[in-house]
Amino acid sequence: MNSFSEDEVEHFKENGFVVKHDVVDRDLLEPAVEKFWDEMELDRDDPASWSGGGRKGNLPCSQDPVVRATLLDTPLQDMCEELVGKDTLQINNYTFAKPVYPTGKTPDEWEPPEHGHLDGHGLVDGSVQPFTIAVTVNMAEVKPKGGGFTVWPGTHKRVHEYFRNHSILNGLKSLQDEQGNWDSLPEAVENPGPPGTVTFWHNKMMHSAGNNCRPDIRMACVSRFSRKNLIDTQFEMYEDMWEDWAI
Ligand SMILES: O=C(O)CCC(=O)C(=O)O
């Protein structure tokens, strides 16, 4: 049975991402959320103190078996392989545990981030660390304007097209003019949702954490899969960017 409808596959191809609800069971999420709390260095009983956070960066529990279970004991890899191809993928990184702390602003003051970044092509100068497809899992409820994973739809196509004729070192250049200003970026889309909501996203998507103008902490985990043969195929930029995908 297919996990994605034809419309969802079409949405993924056109926009570079697709969102599915109830993919990860709450029984797996709840213990993982406890691990977030163990490590965020915040007083759980004092929400007023959460504004501004908290321990920064990916939490150490990114590697914890309980947190990894939210990837390993779920259909996430199989679902990604429905898009990329059966038995094509391996885990590139496990469950980076990413809190986004409240900013202290109200939803009325919320704005999306002005821009995002690309992973693998542009984060580290002079090196590429590509992957194939990623999943961002909402570990707890993420309300709109609450720091949800944010994407710039369609940027995967612009970046892919640019790489056909340019170095793959910095894909952000495909989204900038000659002066380095953002060039006609699409409107950002934030992906809130209940626990277990997953955003599946293409490797060449501009993305970012959102701005959290809610009182709750945004808790999400990001994992990336790469093709088993990525080392041989990473420079391959087919005219049809889906040539080597299953969709
Ligand atoms: O935390 C988020 O929502 C964004 C994560 C991100 O930017 C990344 O994994 O590269």
CA of 23 to the centre of ligand 1 (A): 19
Residue 96 located in a structural domain: yes
User: Model pTM greater than 0.95?
Assistant: yes
Residue 234 located in a structural domain: no
Chain mean pLDDT for the chain = 96
Structure tokens at 50: 């959460």
8 A C-beta contact, residue 34 and residue 82: no
pLDDT of residue 127: 79
Q: How does DSSP assign 68-124, residue by residue?
A: HHHHHTSSHHHHHHHHH-TT-EEEEEEEEEEEE---S--GGG----S--B-SSBSSS
Residue 206 located in a structural domain: yes
Q: What is the residue whose two structure tokens read 């006609």?
A: 184
- For 4, 17, 31, 188, 189, the CA distances from 200, given in Å and listed in that order, are 11, 5, 23, 16, 13
Q: For atom 6 of ligand 1, which residue has the closest CA?
A: 208
Q: What is the pLDDT of residues 4-19, one digit of tens each?
A: 999 999 999 999 999 9
Mean pLDDT over 234-241 rounds to 93
Task: pLDDT band for 231, please (50, 70, 90 cuts).
Answer: confident
Q: What is the pLDDT of residues 42-62, one digit of tens each?
A: 999 999 999 998 999 999 999
Q: Which atom of ligand 1 is nearest to the CA of 96?
A: 9
Q: What is the pLDDT of residues 158-208, one digit of tens each?
A: 999 999 999 999 899 999 999 999 999 999 999 999 999 999 999 999 999
pLDDT of residue 129: 86
216 Cβ neighbours under 8 A, 6+ residues apart: 47, 102, 140, 141, 143, 146
Q: What is the pLDDT of residues 145-165, one digit of tens each?
A: 999 999 999 999 999 999 999
| Residue range(s) defining the domain that contains residue 197 | 8-229
Q: What is the pLDDT of residues 18-42, one digit of tens each?
A: 999 999 999 999 999 999 999 999 9
Residue 12 located in a structural domain: yes
Q: Which of 136, 151, 172, 200 most suits a substitution to test ligand 1, by most atoms within 8 Å of the C-beta?
A: 136
Q: What is the pLDDT of residues 97-156, one digit of tens each?
A: 999 999 999 999 999 999 999 998 866 667 788 999 999 999 999 999 999 999 999 999
pLDDT of residue 200: 98
Residue 77 located in a structural domain: yes
Residue 74 located in a structural domain: yes
CA of 131 to the centre of ligand 1 (A): 14
Run of H or E residues at 138:
strand 133-138
8 A C-beta contact, residue 25 and residue 213: no
CATH of residue 86 = 2.60.120.620
Residue 193 located in a structural domain: yes
Q: Which residues line ligand 1 (CB under 6 A)?
A: 96, 98, 119, 136, 149, 207-209, 220, 222
Residue 235 located in a structural domain: no
The structural domain count of the chain equals 1
Q: Which atom of ligand 1 is nearest to the CA of 136?
A: 3
